[in-house]
Structure 1
């Protein structure tokens, strides 16, 4: 019950800050991870701590490549890892899968709302329409327009809610 309360508070806090400011703060995530490790040590000893660390590691691993490719922010990666520390690896895997589906739906919604769906589809399929020219230069901005990004923390929060109620 205690760990569920911490999980709920973490999820709601990260959801609110990601929607409002497009930030997920370390000063929210780090205490949640420390509480998770301490709680699991107290209630289950070293085996539970290892399970918690496996959840944390899996959460980091699942979103590390998308982060390194510039697809999501570091806060999103750490948010999934913190959930993993609280709830364990099996929970985090379901959260990741449900969050990916929710993220796809959110992305389509944002693209339709910002009238960029057709542009994005054309950009995605352009290499297939002009042949196999891998040396085509695309214009990329160093600053990302916030209106063209999705708050992926919301997708993670939705995925974690689905994982919580499915279990």
Structure 2
């Protein structure tokens, strides 16, 4: 439930203002770590948070995603697990590629803009990341992951 609500907020703010707010990301990180500290799984929460943040920090170094995406994924990692983070990252990458292709087709093909004008325009990656997270929730919670591993 917490992750789903964070997806709604992050996708909305990223579409509207191209930002994922710090109050969302830091709250997600702190409450995730706090929740698992109370339940005796503090180490898992910290490791998942760190792995998720590091995975997304690499593309942030090259300007491909913003630090809001990095912190949001770290917060998601604090609430979930490393396998969930990896599935979400993979799904977000596929969704992101489709998102970029659709946006290019829309802007160049339908809007009749020049490719060189639109190729450097930012695209809110929070949309793709949100789709990856929701797909990750579906995959992990429905047992599809077990079928993929077999």
TM-score (ref. length: structure 1):
0.75
Q: Look up the match of 2:145.
A: none
Match status 1:164 vs 2:137: yes
Give per-residue Cα distances to partners, 1:99-157, cap 9 Å, x unaligned: 0001101111111122189847xxxxxxxxxxxxxxxxxxxxxxxx7982211111111
Equivalent pair of 2:20/2:72 in contact (CA under 8 Å): yes
Equivalent pair of 2:49/2:75 in contact (CA under 8 Å): yes
Q: Look up the match of 2:6.
A: 10
CA–CA separation in structure 2 for the residues paired with 1:147 and 1:154? 18
Q: Look up the match of 1:88.
A: 81
- Extract unaligned runs of 5+ from structure 1: 121-144
CA–CA separation in structure 2 for the residues paired with 1:52 and 1:118? 46
Equivalent pair of 2:48/2:81 in contact (CA under 8 Å): yes
Q: CA deviation at 1:63?
A: 1.5
CA–CA separation in structure 2 for the residues paired with 1:95 and 1:37? 19
Greater radius of gyration (CA): 1
Match status 1:56 vs 2:49: yes
Match status 1:110 vs 2:103: yes
Structure 1 segments, 4+ long, off by >6 Å, are none
- Extract unaligned runs of 5+ from structure 2: 141-150
For these two proteins, the number of residue pairs brought into alignment is 136
Q: CA deviation at 1:68?
A: 0.9
Query: Which range moved further: 147-156 or 7-16?
Result: 147-156
Equivalent pair of 1:114/1:148 in contact (CA under 8 Å): no
Superposition pairs for residues 1-167 of structure 1, below 5 Å?
A: 5-43=1-39, 45=40, 48-115=41-108, 119=115, 148-167=121-140
> Counterpart of 1:37 in 2: which secondary structure?
helix
RMSD: 2.2
Equivalent pair of 2:60/2:66 in contact (CA under 8 Å): yes
